[in-house]
Amino acid sequence: MAARVLIGGYYGFGNIGDEALLSVLLEKLRECLPELEPVVLSHDPEWTAAEYKVEAINRWNPFKIWGELGRAGLFLLGGGGLLQDVTSFRSTLYYLGLIRLAAIRKVPVALIGQGIGPLRSPLLRRLVVGHLRRVDYIMVRDERSRELLEAWGADRGQLVRGYDLALGLALEPSSEEQERRDLLAISLKEPGRDKRVRTEFITEMAAVIDEVHRRFGLRPAFAPLHPREDLRLTEEVRKEMAEESLVLDLEGLPLQEVLKLLSQARLMLGMRLHALEFALICAVPFLAFSADPKVEEFVKLVEGALGLEVSLLKAPGVKGERLLAALGHLLEEEAEYRARLIPAALRLREEATSSLEEACRRLAELLVLERPKVKARRRRKGRAKASQSRPRSRSRSNSNSSPSPREHDMT
């Protein structure tokens, strides 16, 4: 009998990075667990259903979610930084609420490729840890996430160190060879909520990008991976620039087309994690420009696979000359970096794929293939007593006790 799995995450919002996570996850589930019927929670269920050829329901409709959990054999929170309070406090409560509903419905819960934190609120931290102690399987995407959960008191037996799901992507070979162009791909992200800091950031970035064009001859090509959030900042930077620039229209493009466009650049200046991961996949040398812990973890991972130091500058607040010097150094070593990026990307893809395949094996153990009907609970006393001596048909793979409801509690 086919089992339905309900998948939650930041899907249907037009964030290319999160859509890449869903694409990799669905592909691997179909390969390893072909009997599964995925159902995706989406902000735009019509688009998600058409894009991935899956059933999708509105993530904001509690009645549909409740009903689908009643039919599901597993609830799965897909990859990304869903449990954090930097971009939103409420989004974390939303995902914890989904875990809570799954608990009430007695549906096994798994988290795959998760980045944990930052969680600045002590209350929210306690809520997250309390909920995750009841989750059946947790695969985090980096060492920092694992260490955070262990420090907060999470059950070590639940935790598995994995990888960000997007590292399982590969640039498909094309019949037309992608020619490198003198482009600097740029992926910007809002630097914070402080208006003064934001204004200074825009002015500084415009000056740096202009100077890159004049000094190194690289034409700026902005790559907004989350157009609804990134385009406003991108346009404000462009207005301050003296030199001409491009904006890559990535919204709605198939993932492979996005990768092909980015693969034409000589360098990537990236603030978003998935812009940097895409650069790695496309063998484009990159400069990480971010204060986000997940970007720091990614840089450490790549340095280990690459055998070279990867430039990471904290944003905002970095002076333009430091950025220019780092980009200049990257150009000087471009050939060596590019040559090493290819095997590094292959190695990390193999490790990420192996990790996800192991996760699929664990999911198969958790699946409830047939849900008991409500009427089965209303047996006559005699039959109920007789049934007590029979062994239970399934048990949770990571617990010796029966599940109990969880206490109440993105990117």
pLDDT at 175 (0 to 100) = 54
- Ranges of H-type helices in 249-393: 255-262, 273-281, 293-306, 320-332, 334-366, 381-388
CA dist 34 and 71 (Å) reads 18
Rounded Cα distance between 106 and 53, Å, is 28
The model's confidence at residue 340, banded by pLDDT at 50, 70 and 90, is very high
Average pLDDT for 203-232: 96
Per-residue confidence (pLDDT) for residue 87, from 0 to 100: 75
Integer Cα distance of 108 and 202 in angstroms: 46
Pairing, β 55-58 against β 36-42: parallel
Instruction: Give CA–CA dist 311/329, Å, rounded.
Output: 9
pLDDT (tens digit per residue) in 16-49: 999 999 999 999 999 999 999 999 999 999 999 9
Q: Are 272 and 225 in contact (CB under 8 A)?
A: yes
78-129 residue pLDDT tens: 989 999 888 778 999 999 999 999 999 999 999 999 999 888 888 999 999 8
pLDDT in tens, 150-200: 888 777 777 899 999 999 999 988 756 567 799 999 999 999 888 999 999
Token match 């019949």: residue?
175
- Cβ-based neighbours of 375, under 8 Å, separated by 6 or more: none
- Report the phi/psi class of residue 252: left, alpha or beta, with left for phi > 0 and alpha for psi in -120 to 50: left
Partner residues linked to 219 by β-bridges: 183
The token duo for 125 is: 């931290």
pLDDT value, residue 382: 46
Sign of the torsion angle spanned by Cα atoms 272, 275, 281, 282: negative
Domains and CATH numbers, the chain: 3-169+351-374 (3.40.50.2000), 183-348 (3.40.50.2000)
Query: Is the model's pLDDT at 257 over the cut of 90?
Result: yes
Closest CA to 80 of 130, 23, 123, 131: 23
Cβ-based neighbour number of residue 46 at 10 Å? 11
Q: What angle do CA 301, 305, 311 make, to 5 degrees?
A: 60
